[in-house]
Chain A
C-alpha cells in the first residue's frame, strides 16, 4: 500500500528580493498502484515537486507523507536513501562505470535476491543484456534499464522526470507504452512529470495540471480534457477555441451562434439574468458544412495539414464591419477548397464567467 499525500507544499529558492517561490501550497494525492502524471509548462515547478518528494529539496512549508508516514515537513526530513522513493531521471542517468546488471542491482539490499536483476531485465524486454555497458545501449534501452533499476528495490514510489523527452518521436511512443505496461505489471505507484500534454493524457491513470506552483486540476485524463475546471487548464490541455459569450440558463450566445453549455457548468444566472464570460470548445467540436447548408459564415485564414487530420483557422464574420473572432476547426475530411466556409457546433461548450 503506497499512497502519497502532499499538503500545502511550499518550496522557494534564493533569499531576500532574489527569492522566487516555486511551489505555493501545493496539494496532491497519488493513488496506490496508479500512474499519476503531473503536467505543466516548463518552469512551473514540476521537477522541484519531484525533488521535494525524493528528499533533495527541503520544503519551506507543508508535508509529504507516504503511507501515512510524514517523510518531509513538520521538522521531519527523512534522507532520500530511507524514503523508498526511486528516480527515473531524464536521459536515464545510468551509472556509466557499471554494466547493466550492476546498475539494476545497485539498489538491492542484501536480503533481496540477485535473481531480481534477471527478472526485471526480462520485464523491461532486455533479457540477456546483463553485461552490456550503458554507452553500448540506445536511448530507449537506457531508459528501460533506468526503469528496471528504479523498480528493483521494490520502492514505495517511482518518480519519472520527463523520462521520454530525450527520445526521438518514433521511439518515444513505444518506450512510453512499454513503461506503462511494466509499471502496471509491477503494480508500483508512480508519479510522472512531463510538459507534454499528449503524453500525460495517453499514459496516466490520472492527470494533475500544475500552474503557478499549485495543482489547478487533478482528475482522470478524460475529465481534464473534456471538463476543465478553469480556463488555464482548458488552454494548457489540448487546443481550445475561446468565444466571448452572453449566457442565459444553459444557452450561450456567441459568434458561432447559440451554444448549449454542459450540465456541470454551473449556471451563473440562476435568477434569470444574463452573465458575460468565455465559452470554450475543442476544435473537433466545430464542423465545416457544405456551402449550401445553413451555418455561421467565416473566411479561411490558414490551413495546416497533419496527415491524420488537419486544422483550419477561420475568421468569423462580425457585426458592424468589425471582424469576428478567429476559431480553429479540426477536420478529418478534405480541406475546404474555397475561402468562405459555413460552420456549426456539435456537443456542448463550457462556460467561464468573466471574473
Chain B
C-alpha cells in the first residue's frame, strides 16, 4: 500500500506563489524597466542635493514648469471639449454623415505629432511657440478623449435616459442629467492620457520651438558640457508624469466599476440638432481639415516637390530598412520580457506579481527623452561598448513599450480559462509543459496582434531614437526631424510619407481588425 516512492512527494506549496521559471525572467523585466529611472535619479544627485536644489529653484526652471503646465492644461481642456463634441455628434445626434465623421475623427491619433508639426512649420503661416504646439497637440490628442467617450456613450443603457424622460425631462435635459454624467469617468481617463502625452511629447514642441521640459532637456543635453541639469530636469518631468499616471490608473479603476453590469441590447435614441446642425456641420469640417487633411496634404505636397527635384532614394530606402530592423529588434525584446510578466499578472495574485506588473508599467510614465537620457548616462558610465550601438537603443524601446506588450500578453492569457490549464495539469503535464502546450498556443494570436502594434509604434518613436541611434545610421523619423530642423522641407517630406506608409497605415488596419474581433 505504501508505494510513495512511485510518486515522490513534494513539500507543500501555496498555490498562489508564482513558479520560479516565470518569476525570475519577470524580475529581469522589472529590472530593465526600472533601470533608466533609477540611474537617472543616481545621476541627478551625483553632484549633491545642493546642486539639485540650485537647478530646481532657478527662475528658468519655474518658467519651464509654468510653460509645460500651461500647455498641458490648454491642450487637455481643448481635447475634452473636442472629444465630447465629436462623441455626442457621432453617437447621439442626427448630423448628416456622422458615420464617416466617426471614423475620420479617430484618425489624427495615428499621425505622429512631429508630422503634424512638420505641416505647420513648413507652411507659410507662422505658428511656432505656444499657439503652434497647442494646435498640433490638441489635434493629435483629442481622440484620447473621443474614443473612450464614444465607447461609454454606446455602452450606457438607453433605459436610464428613457426613465428620465418618463420622469418629465426633455431629450436634452435627459441627456445632460443622465448620459453626460455617466461618461464623466471615461472623459476624465482620456483627459489624463492627453495630459501625459502632452508632457511627454518631444517632436512637436521641438519643431515648433516651444521651450517645455522635453525640448529644454534635449537642448541642455546637446549644448552644455555639464549634463547634470538635464538629469535633474528629467527627474522633475518624471515627477509630473508619474503623478498623472497614478491619478489616471486610479480613475480608470473606478470608472471600470461604473461600467460593470450594463447589459445593453438597443441603440440609444437620436437627439435632433435642429438649427444647430448649421453650426455643427462646418465646425466638424474645419476641425477635421486642421487635424487630418492639412498634415496629410502638406506631406503629399512637399513629398511631390522633393521627389520631383530628386531625393536620395538610396538613403530613403536605407532609412526605411533601418527603421524596420530596429523596430523588429525592439519588439522582440519587448515581447520576450513581457511574456513572463503578462502570464504572472493574468494567473497569479501575490505581492511579487503586483510589484512586477507595476514595475514594467513604468515606461508608461517615462517620456522617451528621459529614458533616452538616462540610458545615455548609463551607457557612457557602465556600458561604453554598447553606447551609440543598437543594443542600447533596443533597451530603450523595451522600456518604453513594455507596458503595451505586457497588457497584450496579460489580456490574451486571461481570455482563456484557468480551468483549461488545470485540466492539462491533471492529465499529467508539469507547469512548464502546460505553458508550452496550452497557455502560449492559446494566447499566441493575441500576443502576435499586440506585438504588431508595438512594432508599428516603435517605428514612429522619435526622441529615444534620436539620442541613442547607432553612429552612422538614421531612421525615417530622425531623418524627417533633422531635415525639417534645417528647413529642408522637400527633403524631409518623403521620409514622413514613407513612415506613414510603413507604420501608420498598418496601425489603422490592425486597430480596425482588433476592434471587430
Which residues of A are interface residues toward B (Cβ below 8 A)? 51, 54-58, 67-71, 75-83, 85-87, 89-90, 93-97, 106-107, 109, 146, 149-150, 152-153, 155, 159
Contacts and interface: CB of A to CB of B under 8 A. Distances in A.
A77 B423 contact: no
B181 interface: no
Most buried by B among A57, A69, A80: A80
B223 to A, nearest CB: 56
B429 A81 contact: yes
A153 B12 contact: no
Given A69-B7, A93-B417, A97-B442, A77 B422 contact: no
A58 B15 contact: yes
A69 B4 contact: yes
A82 B422 contact: no
Given A69-B7, A93-B417, A95-B438, A77 B13 contact: yes
B9 interface: yes
A-B pairs, top 3 by smallest CB distance, nearest first, are: A107-B427, A68-B1, A76-B9
Nearest to A89: B419
Contacts of A106: 424, 427, 429, 437
Contacts of B425: 55-56, 79-81
A69 B1 contact: yes
Contacts of B3: 69
B429 A68 contact: no
Interface string B464-475: 000000000000
A305 B420 CA distance: 42
Nearest to B442: A97
A81 B428 contact: yes
Given A77-B11, A79-B10, A96-B442, A68 B2 contact: yes
Given A56-B15, A67-B1, A87-B422, A77 B442 contact: no
A109 B13 contact: no
Contact of A57 (B15, B416, B423, B428): B15
B438 A56 contact: no
A87 B425 CA distance: 9
B428 A107 contact: yes
A291 to B, nearest CB: 52
Contacts of B2: 68-69
7 contacts: A55-B426, A56-B422, A86-B423, A89-B422, A106-B427, A155-B426, A159-B426
Interface string B427-461: 11110000001100110000000000000000000
A58 B14 contact: yes
Interface of B: 1-4, 6-7, 9-15, 416-417, 419-420, 422-430, 437-438, 441-442
Contacts of A85: 426
B293 to A, nearest CB: 44
A80 B422 contact: yes
B15 to A, nearest CB: 6
A84 to B, nearest CB: 8
A130 B303 CA distance: 58
A86 B6 CA distance: 18
Contacts of A107: 426-429
B9 A81 contact: no
A127 to B, nearest CB: 22
Given A76-B10, A96-B442, A106-B424, 18 more contacts: A58-B12, A58-B13, A69-B3, A75-B11, A77-B11, A78-B9, A81-B425, A87-B422, A87-B426, A89-B419, A93-B423, A95-B423, A106-B427, A106-B437, A107-B426, A107-B428, A150-B423, A153-B427
A78 B5 CA distance: 12
Contacts of B442: 95-97
Contacts of A54: 422, 426
B420 A95 contact: yes
Contacts of B12: 58, 75-77
Nearest to B429: A81
Contact of B7 (A56, A57, A78, A155): A78
B126 to A, nearest CB: 58
B426 A80 contact: yes
Contact of B423 (A51, A70, A76, A87): A87
A57 B422 CA distance: 11
Contacts of A81: 425-430
A177 B423 CA distance: 23
A71 B15 CA distance: 15
A80 B6 CA distance: 15
B433 to A, nearest CB: 8
Contacts of B10: 76-79
Contacts of A93: 417, 419-420, 422-423
A170 B184 CA distance: 47
A146 B422 CA distance: 13
Contacts of A159: 426
A282 to B, nearest CB: 37
Contacts of B417: 93
A117 to B, nearest CB: 13
A106 B424 CA distance: 8
Nearest to B1: A68
A335 to B, nearest CB: 39
A14 to B, nearest CB: 11
A3 to B, nearest CB: 10
B1 A86 contact: no
Most buried by B among A69, A89, A95, A153: A95
Most buried by A among B7, B10, B423, B430: B423
B515 to A, nearest CB: 22
Contacts of B424: 95, 106
A106 B423 CA distance: 10
A57 B14 CA distance: 8
B428 A153 contact: yes
A79 B12 CA distance: 9
Nearest to B4: A69
Nearest to B3: A69
Most buried by A among B416, B419, B429: B419
Contacts of A69: 1-4, 6-7
A155 B422 CA distance: 15
A86 B426 contact: yes
Contacts of B14: 58
Contacts of B9: 70, 76-78
A54 B428 CA distance: 11
B52 to A, nearest CB: 42
A51 B425 CA distance: 12
Contacts of B426: 54-55, 80-81, 83, 85-87, 107, 150, 155, 159
Nearest to A77: B12
Contacts of A149: 423, 427
